Amino acid sequence: MLPHKKINILIVDDELSIRESLDGWLQQDGYEVETAEDGPTALARIQERHYDIMLLDVKMPKMDGITVLKELKEKNPETAVVMMTAHGAIQDAVEAMKLGAYDYLLKPFDLEELSLTIEKLVQMQTLAMENLILKERVATITRSDNLVGQSPAILKLFETIADVAQSDATVLITGETGTGKELVARAIHTNSPRCYSPFIAINCGAFTEHLLESELFGHEKGAFTDAKYTKKGRLEMANAGTLFLDEVGDISMKMQIDLLRVLETHEFTRVGGTMPLHSDFRVIAATHQDLKESIRNRTFRQDLFYRLNVIHLEVPPLRERVGDIPLLAQHFLRRYATETGKKVDSISPEALELMRRYEWPGNVRELENAIERAVVVGKGRQIKPGDLPFCYPGTGTEEMRNLSLEEVERRHIAQVLAAESGHISNAAKVLRINRTTLYYKIKKYGLAS
């Protein structure tokens, strides 16, 4: 197990003997303990650091516990408070509970009882945190999938993943769109000692600078107009786990500076906050951009690049691992046949051959989409060339043998036009006919250009 952050407790009581006995007892229980002798001192402390729990005496000379509680709930609502009150002053305890205290203990109290109360509280706090990450986790589980592949390139990648998973070093994953970068990042996490803690992904390209900042660092209530509640950031949520910074090449120059600092210290403050927070996360970043090029164009900081690029994984494009295509196609076929309840269970050799020859600019994602569509539109138990969006029958296939010459020409022109995005001059070049002839044929076959 990874070392978890020690729970820290602030004891606030004007009586020295109480402070001392609680301090000693709770330290024996394994907590990090600090003490304050009055309300103003306690409030000064919470400005400086975050406490998980506060044990707070109700009756104190300079400022009573209820006033301290109110202030604390304003400034740091996440600190859980246990009130300490004398017998006979139970109405104070009740009022404190209404104001958001978690529990109260009646003085003189049993130290065993104190231990139990704190233990329960810690469990509850852990639970609240887990709930927060639960949504993220469910998404992870339902989306997580085995990495499929058997080509030499992908087998080498699997080996590297297994190696890298054992270390805590920062990883930069690069590769074209749809190659499986996110899947690789998840695989590193699930094979790492951090696997029982959350995998928190954030798509840095999907937010404006301002939103990204509050997503990453969290924000305090009132930090900006829409900040109605205090919100934990992804950095905090990723504590003891893995933080996946997707599309890291899209981060603004200003945010790059902030991010660099956090990666170096693991310390940060929420937007609108002053309290330094600490989180123990492992970073995996991904991008489809060429960051070295971005450094040359001065849109990406070199120091951040070096910080991220400790271990570099390149996921090869699908066209460079053709050997994986049949396996991946079968994998997606099973998935979508099950999902749609259609009885499709094989891919014809001709369709497979076409898939092997196709370039797959959208890589595995495009293959996945093609199979999904084929399962939906196809008739019969087998996927045929005609079911594939980019395909038209190649020579020698059974379907081809039954086509007229005109039909073959029509399909071929349509295909080339689609590939050239309707650009007539380019399509004419590929077809090696002049533009006038191409216009004529488009008209003849009723093709949209």
| Nearer to ligand ATP (CB atom), residue 356 or residue 365 | 365
Q: Which stretch binds ligand ATP (CB under 6 A): 36-44, 146-154, 232-240, 304-312?
A: 146-154
For the residues of 31-90, what is the DSSP string, one character each?
-EEEEESSHHHHHHHHHHS--SEEEEES--SSS-HHHHHHHHHHH-TTSEEEEEEETT-H
CA–CA dist 254, 267 (Å, integer)? 17
Question: Is residue 250 part of the contact set for Mg ion (CB under 5 A)?
Answer: no
- Report the residue number, 182 or 213, with the smaller CB distance to Mg ion: 182
- Selection from Mg ion, ligand ATP, none that 198 binds (CB < 5 to 8 A by kind) is none
> Is residue 368 involved in binding Mg ion (CB under 5 A)?
no
Q: For residues 168 and 197, is the Cβ–Cβ distance under 8 A?
A: no
Q: Which part of the chain contacts ligand ATP (CB under 6 A), choosing from 66-74, 80-88, 254-262, 363-371?
A: 363-371
The residue number with the shortest CB distance to ligand ATP is 180
Position 349, amino acid: P
Number of residues that bind ligand ATP (CB under 6 A): 18
Render 250-272 in DSSP notation, one character per residue.
Answer: G--HHHHHHHHHHHHH-EE--BT
Supply angle C-alpha 128, 261, 34, rounded to 5: 50
Decide if residue 188 touches ligand ATP (CB under 6 A).
Answer: no
183 lies in the binding site for ligand ATP (CB under 6 A): yes
Q: Which residues of 349-379 are buried (b: 16+ CB within 10 A; e: fewer)?
A: ebbbebbeebebebbbebbbebbbebbeebe
Nearest to 230 by CA among 72, 65, 96: 72
Q: Is 393 in the site for ligand ATP (CB under 6 A)?
A: no
Would you count residue 350 as binding Mg ion (CB under 5 A)? no
240 Rama sector, left if φ>0, alpha if ψ -120 to 50, beta otherwise = left
Q: Pairing state of beta strands 231-232 and 218-219?
A: antiparallel
* Shortest reach from residue 369's CB to ligand ATP, in Å: 9
The span of 87-95, 126-134, 144-152, 251-259 binding ligand ATP (CB under 6 A) equals 144-152
The answer to whether 182 contacts Mg ion (rule: CB under 5 A) is yes
Contact region with ligand ATP (CB under 6 A), list: 23-31, 74-82, 172-180, 293-301: 172-180
Stretch that binds Mg ion, among 182-190, 276-284, 304-312, 386-394 (CB under 5 A): 182-190
For residue 100, the one-letter residue type is G
Residue of 149, 316, 317, 386 that binds ligand ATP (CB under 6 A): 149
The single-letter DSSP state of residue 271 is: B
Using the rule CB under 6 A, is 37 a contact of ligand ATP? no
Which residues here bind Mg ion, judged by CB under 5 A?
182
Q: Give the interface with ligand ATP as residue ranges (CB under 6 A).
A: 145, 147-149, 175, 177-183, 288, 328, 331, 364-365, 368
